[in-house]
Structure formats: structure tokens, C-alpha cells
Amino acid sequence: MSEIFINSYSAICNLGSSLDTIFANAIKCGNEFFTNDSDIVKDKTFPLGKVKTALPAIDDEIYNLRCNRLLLYCANQLVSDIKKAINKYGKNRIGIVIGSTNAGSDEYEKSGNIKHAMIGNPAGFLKKQLGLSGYYCGVSTACTSGIKAFAAGKKLIDSGVCDAVIAGSTDAICKTPVFGFHALEVLSQKPTLPFSKNRNGINIGEGSALFILEKQPQEYSVKICAIGETSDAYHCATPDPQGTEAARAINLALKEANLKYTDIDYINMHGTGTISNDLMEANAIKTSSLDKTPASSTKSLTGHCLGASGGIETALCCAMLDTRLNPKNFLLPHFYDNNYDDKLPLLNLVQKGQQASRLNFILNNSFGFGGSNASMILGRACV
């Protein structure tokens, strides 16, 4: 398999609309970026990670979806690099893989246009918008969709189908998952508290992230060292409490990357703030001997952006590895009430302002409904 590098990337979420702002606000560590919303569930108010930035318009009614406007915002930030890739490889040799869980479900409810509900709509939109003629697809594996988009993009390059891939993920706040998580009694009316003994559920967020994947690195590239993928086959909505297959995904990634657990310098956890997810992930990390590794969940800052979460969190991890944005090796802090659940294996949660003496390799976890597990290791290209 060939080495694959992230050579350019962009993101938007409730923390901001540029990488430097998003990263700076994440390091600042607080929940002031949530918006209290009482419009979706009757007589209930929930904190949501809403994007407040003005988004570009889309004229084509088939693609006029909020998730696509979020995606277009990210694409507009990469216009110069995308043009360079087209000039280098040609329009038919650049693939597109976009992860999403909702596409245009809310818009479909009003329009009745089935194309709004198609999970491949964002990928089709981006292909048309950029004038490409190569392979494109949507990925929807619940909350692992963002990392699974990288796995698909990597395989397209490894197999020779594409010379470069524009991979990413996008999701807008949608009524269906809000109602769904509320029905499961895991939607919190307060800011989420991952790994706290007082945790009582998740907050929903929205956003998008986009990445250009290539074989040849550039000066500040991030290397995709490995991606481990497994499935629980345990329960449609509840993870295996032991985290057996989640731990196997982590260890598959370590093996593929030819790394030991001691080589990992930071873990970006899935960390949703539900009783069952945090138990599963803490056990998986402990089983993988990574319980002493600095770790945090950024969902207490952004909310759970569902299909977009893996992409947004990957962008945060890339920013952490980028010495231009993070010259002092700051780690993304874990924001909660500091009351750790002592029923969980003890993890090494990152404190606000904490810096790493070494920051070469990052483990990024995503776990989803249906027992979908994905763990990606990112590294500085020069290591």
C-alpha cells in the first residue's frame, strides 16, 4: 500500500469558520459556543452546536441543502489547492468521498424530492460544483462516516482508481436524529460531560470538513498512518460495554502503522457523554494499554456532529500536528465538570493549557450505531 498524505484541509463548525479560529477556540476550552434551541422538541430546550457563519448560496434546487452549503464553504477555502490538483492529475483522476448521516432529510420533508434524501447527494454536488468527472460516492456508517470516508479515499488511491481524492464529511442539524436521540433518552438538556459521573447524554452539532489526499507529501502534510475498522455485531444502538471490537480497531491501526502503543502521543476520543459509550471507549483504551496516553473528547466543545464528527475532529488533529497553527504543541483539552466517573477505567484526560513534550502520532477514534468502529492514526509527515 502506498503512503497517503493530507496535503490541504478546511473545516467549519460552531467553534468557527477557519482552522486557526476553530483550533484557538478549542484550546480556549469552554461551552459558550453552544446555542440553546427550543424549536425542535416541544417544550424542551437543548444546547446545539450551531454554525452561525453566513453560508454560500446554491442555485441548483437538487443540491440546495444546508449540509451542501456547509460543504461548499469548506471547498471555497481550498479552491487554489483543488485547481492545482486538477491541473496535475486531470478531472477524471480525482475522486470524491463524502461521509454524511442525514444529507437533506429535513429538506426532503418539505420538498418531497427524493434526491434530497439520498446519502450520495453531497458527493454528487461537490463533483458537479468542481467540474470533476471521476469516481464519487457517499459514505454513511453512522458516526464513523467521517473516518470511513478516509478509508474509502485511501483505498481508491491504493488501488490506482484515483491519483488524488477529495475526502470529507458534512451534516447539518436535523430533526430526525434530534428526535431519535431524545427518544433514546440520551439527548442532554445541559452541556455534555464526557466521562463525568454526572454525564447524562449528548449535544448535537453540525459542520463540515474537507481534505485533499495525495501520494506525495508537501511541507506541512499530515500522514494517514493507518485506519483500523471493525464491527461489534452486538446491538443496533448500544455498544459492547467491554469495547472488545473497538480495542481491536485500535490495535489493527497500530499494527498497520507498525507502531507500539507507546508511540501514540494523544488520543482524540469519540467521547459522546452517554453512559454506555464512555464505558465502552474507556474499556477499549484500557485494553489497548493506552490509558496513560493524554486523551480528550472535543464533543463537549462542538457537540456530536454525527457523520461530520470524524472529519471535524480529524481537522482538529491535523491542526494540532501543524507547527504553523500549534508551534507549542498544545493538546486539545477535555472540558467537563472534573468529576471523573470512578466506575470507569482511569484515563489521562488533558487539562486546559497542557502541552506535549512530543507530538508525532495521534489516534482518532470514531464509534457508531450498529457497532461500527474506526480508529485512524495520523502522524507528522517528517517523522
Do 145 and 66 lie in one domain? The reply is yes
Give the active site residues: 143, 270, 304
Q: What was the pLDDT predicted at 383?
A: 58
What is the model's pLDDT at position 355?
98
Q: Do 210 and 248 fall into the same domain?
A: no
Residue 82 and residue 149 in one domain: yes
CB 68 within 8 A of CB 170: yes
Residues 193 and 170 in one domain: yes
Whether residues 172 and 81 share a domain: the answer is yes
* 205 and 267 together in one domain: no
Q: Is the pLDDT of residue 278 over 90?
A: yes
- Whether residue 158 is found in the same domain as residue 274: no
Among 169, 186, 214, the domain boundary falls at 214
pLDDT in tens, 355-368: 999 999 999 999 99
pLDDT of residue 1: 64
Question: Of 158, 184, 214, which marks where a domain is finished?
Answer: 214
Average pLDDT over residues 306-326: 97
The Cα-based distances of 302 to 15, 204, 232, 312, 340 in angstroms read 7, 8, 27, 9, 20
Residues 201-249: pLDDT tens digits? Answer: 999 999 999 999 999 999 899 999 999 999 998 888 889 999 999 999 9
The CATH number given to whatever domain includes residue 258 is 3.40.47.10
Q: What is the pLDDT, as a whole number, of residue 297?
A: 98
Note down the domain range covering 192.
Answer: 4-214
Mark whether 204 and 231 lie in a shared domain.
no
Q: Classify residue 331 by its DSSP letter.
A: P
How confident is the prediction for the chain on average, in pLDDT? 96
* 197, 214, 231 - which closes a domain: 214
Task: Examine the domain organization and report whether 290 and 205 are in the same domain.
Answer: no
Considering the domain architecture, whether residues 301 and 349 belong to the same structural domain is answered as yes
Q: In what order do the strands lie in the sheet with 372-380?
A: 136-139, 94-99, 164-171, 207-214, 4-12, 222-231, 372-380, 361-368, 266-268, 294-296, 348-349
Residues above pLDDT 70, as percent of the chain: 99
Q: Is the pLDDT of residue 119 over 90?
A: yes
pLDDT cut 90: percent of the chain above it = 95
Q: Are residues 144 and 282 in the same domain?
A: no
pLDDT for 31 equals 84
Same domain membership, residue 172 and residue 37:
yes
pLDDT, one tens digit per residue, over 285-304 is 999 999 999 999 999 999 99
In 3-state terms, what secondary structure has residue 85? helix
pLDDT in tens, 14-64: 999 999 999 999 999 988 999 999 999 999 999 999 999 999 999 999 999
Number of domains present in the structure of the chain:
2
The whole-number average pLDDT for the span 370-382 is 93
Residue 2 has pLDDT above 80, yes or no: no
Which pLDDT value is given to residue 190?
95
CA distance 250 to 228: 6
Mean pLDDT of 123-134: 98
Question: CA 103, CA 285: separation in Å to the nearest integer?
Answer: 32
Q: What is the mean pLDDT of residues 132-149?
A: 97
Nearest Cα neighbor of 147 from 95, 90, 211 is: 211
pLDDT at position 380 over 70 = yes
In the chain, the amino acid numbered 252 is L
**pTM for the structure as a whole:** 0.97
CA-CA distances (angstroms) from residue 369 to 101, 125, 201, 209? Answer: 11, 26, 15, 21
